[in-house]
């Protein structure tokens, strides 16, 4: 099964100056990065950072507004993916993907799902005729090979015992592994996985990690991984690229990225005042010092701190080249940069920076209560609000302090509640942008179904 030893560590994927615009929205802005052959490259960033859009450009679902995406195959051939018709990307460039929302044929068995994935190979062997399906030994051989390959990946994914069950009957984590097995049946050189660990319990997460490490170690397939679960990213990635508002803010080893202040600010999704609190909690004095004195300017936003096209940026240009950013809607990484830029300016001129980030006046008034706040969690057990994308550990703590402990509370929020919560959290518009209420409704539904099946309410 293992391919002849591929040349390791050369770039299998080279993304250069990629931009993708949707009307006025710049979902990806001038993004460049490489994924090395034989490695797991993680693409991380807060909700809406543009990660799935990058995948959609790589796999031909979107044609990028600008930029080049080069896929270098092991045999030495190269493909410009942005120019390849999307149906040719899996077959010719050998790129396979899974989706953020599971897409399986739920009524088909596991084995059938993996055979459908090999449809192209089987059709080719049939000579594209019905007679060919029955007559040619070539088809019979291909069909036997396809079944062998399907069985091989069902075993790898620890699903062989359920080969004849409908895919829809599998638990969630097993469906995720089935999707990966299905993608592997197409023999990809690059496997793009969009949040494969989302919603998995710790045991399922471990099984997923094992499958990904097996693919990496034994097939030569390179993996590009979008993931929010930092435990997964840190454990299995060789290289991490971090996006915020469609721009790259960090790129390096998991260790380097984890301690990058811009990443902490952006990825944890905290307001700038909270960054230091987070860093203090993380306990990294070096980073705290770096934040005060200014981070490496090699990465991070270029000329704008907001990546929406048009005049929504509150970036102020100063004649000395100083750039001071006002908070509303601006990049967290940009705020870190602005902070260090202001600090450097202060040191150079021994005068205070002219402007700093400001909070809207409402944020400084005493906040209103959220209408459905509780004194304590029901049955003494709070839901894990941090499962809602956009809620980090600090926001979860703040919400608990203000009487919000359960998904169904957030699911029932009205406009005034959202405004009150945003006041507590010092967020502007994020709750709607990240659809916390929709996410909370889905989680509440799942929790209630689990409760009915005997889980905790």
Ligand X SMILES: Nc1ncnc2c1ncn2[C@@H]1O[C@H](COP(=O)(O)OP(=O)(O)OP(=O)(O)O)[C@@H](O)[C@H]1O
Nearer to Mg ion, 100 or 259 (CB): 100
Which residue has 């620890």 as its token pair?
A: 158
Please work out the total of residues on this chain that contact ligand X, with binding judged by CB under 6 A.
13
Query: What letters, b where the CB count within 10 A reaches 16 and e where it falls short, cover 359-394?
Result: eeeebeeebeebebeeeeeeeeebbebebbbbbbeb
Beta bridge partners of 21: 26
Q: Helix, strand or coil for residue 427?
A: coil
Nearer to ligand X, 200 or 370 (CB): 200
Counting Cα atoms < 13 Å in the Cβ hemisphere of 173 gives 15
Residue 59 lies near Mg ion (rule: CB under 5 A) = no
How far is the C-alpha of 257 from the C-alpha of 239, rounded, in Å? Answer: 9
Nearer Cβ to Mg ion, position 52 or 118? Answer: 52
Contact mark string toward ligand X, 30..69, x via CB under 6 A? ---------------x-xxxxxxx----------------
Which of the residues 346 through 405 are near ligand X (CB under 6 A)? 389
Which H helix or E strand runs over 450?
Answer: helix 436-452
Complex with Mg ion: residue 331 or 423, whichever CB lies closer: 331
Query: Which residue lies nearer to ligand X by CB, 27 or 157?
Result: 27
Contacts with 286 (C-beta within 8 Å, 6 or more apart), sequence order: 259
* Secondary structure percentages of the chain, helix, strand, coil, to 5: 45, 15, 40
* Choices 19-27, 50-58, 174-182, 183-191; region in contact with Mg ion by CB under 5 A: 50-58
- Complex with ligand X: residue 52 or 250, whichever CB lies closer: 52
185 contact, one of Mg ion, ligand X, none, CB 5-8 Å limit per kind? none
Burial of 451 (0-12, 13-18, 19+ CB in 10 A): exposed
395 binds, among Mg ion, ligand X, none (CB under 5 to 8 A by kind): none
Q: Which residue from 33, 46, 52, 177 is in contact with Mg ion, where contact means CB under 5 A? A: 52
Interaction pattern, residues 79-118, with Mg ion; x per rule: CB under 5 A: ---------------------x------------------
Contact residues for Mg ion, defined by CB under 5 A = 51-52, 100
Contact residues for ligand X, defined by CB under 6 A = 22, 25, 27, 45, 47-53, 100, 389
């Amino acid at each position: 099964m293992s391919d002849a030893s591929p040349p390791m560590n050369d770039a299998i994927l080279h993304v250069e100056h990629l931009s993708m615009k949707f009307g006025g929205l710049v979902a990806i802005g001038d993004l460049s990065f490489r994924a090395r052959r034989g490695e797991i490259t993680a693409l991380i960033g807060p909700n809406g950072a543009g990660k799935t859009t990058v995948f959609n450009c790589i796999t031909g679902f979107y044609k990028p507004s600008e930029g080049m995406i080069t896929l270098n195959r092991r045999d030495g051939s190269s493909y410009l993916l942005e120019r390849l018709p999307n149906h040719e990307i899996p077959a010719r460039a050998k790129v396979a993907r899974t989706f953020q929302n599971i897409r399986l044929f739920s009524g088909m068995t596991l084995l059938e799902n993996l055979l459908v994935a090999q449809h192209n190979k089987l059709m080719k062997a049939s000579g594209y005729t019905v007679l060919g399906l029955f007559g040619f030994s070539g088809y019979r051989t291909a069909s036997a090979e396809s079944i062998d390959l399907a069985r091989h990946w069902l075993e790898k994914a620890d699903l062989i015992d359920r080969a004849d069950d409908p895919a829809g009957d599998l638990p969630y984590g097993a469906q995720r592994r089935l999707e990966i097995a299905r993608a592997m049946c197409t023999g990809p050189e690059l496997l793009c996985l969009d949040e494969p660990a989302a919603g998995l319990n710790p045991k399922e997460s471990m099984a997923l990690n094992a499958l990904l490490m097996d693919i990496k170690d034994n097939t030569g397939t390179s993996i590009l991984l979008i993931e929010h679960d930092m435990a997964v990213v840190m454990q299995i990635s060789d290289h991490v690229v971090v996006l915020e508002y469609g721009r790259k803010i960090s790129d390096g080893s998991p260790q380097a990225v984890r301690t990058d202040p811009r990443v902490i600010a952006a990825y944890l999704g905290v307001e700038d005042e909270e960054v230091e609190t987070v860093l203090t909690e993380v306990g990294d004095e070096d980073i705290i010092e770096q934040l005060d004195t200014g981070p490496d300017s090699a990465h991070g936003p270029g000329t704008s701190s907001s990546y929406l096209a048009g005049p929504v940026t509150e970036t102020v240009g100063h004649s000395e080249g100083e750039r001071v950013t006002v908070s509303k809607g601006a990049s967290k990484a940009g705020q870190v940069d602005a902070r260090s830029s202001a600090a450097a300016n202060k040191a150079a001129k021994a005068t205070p920076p002219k402007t700093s980030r400001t909070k809207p006046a409402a944020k400084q008034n005493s906040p209103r209560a959220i209408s459905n706040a509780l004194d304590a969690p029901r049955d003494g057990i709070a839901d894990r609000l941090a499962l809602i994308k956009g809620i980090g550990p600090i926001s979860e703590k703040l919400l608990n302090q203000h009487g919000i402990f359960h998904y169904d509370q957030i699911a029932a929020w009205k406009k005034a509640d959202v405004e009150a919560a945003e006041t507590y959290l010092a967020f502007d518009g994020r709750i709607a942008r990240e659809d916390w209420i929709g996410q909370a409704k889905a989680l509440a539904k799942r929790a209630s179904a689990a409760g009915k099946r005997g889980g905790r309410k």
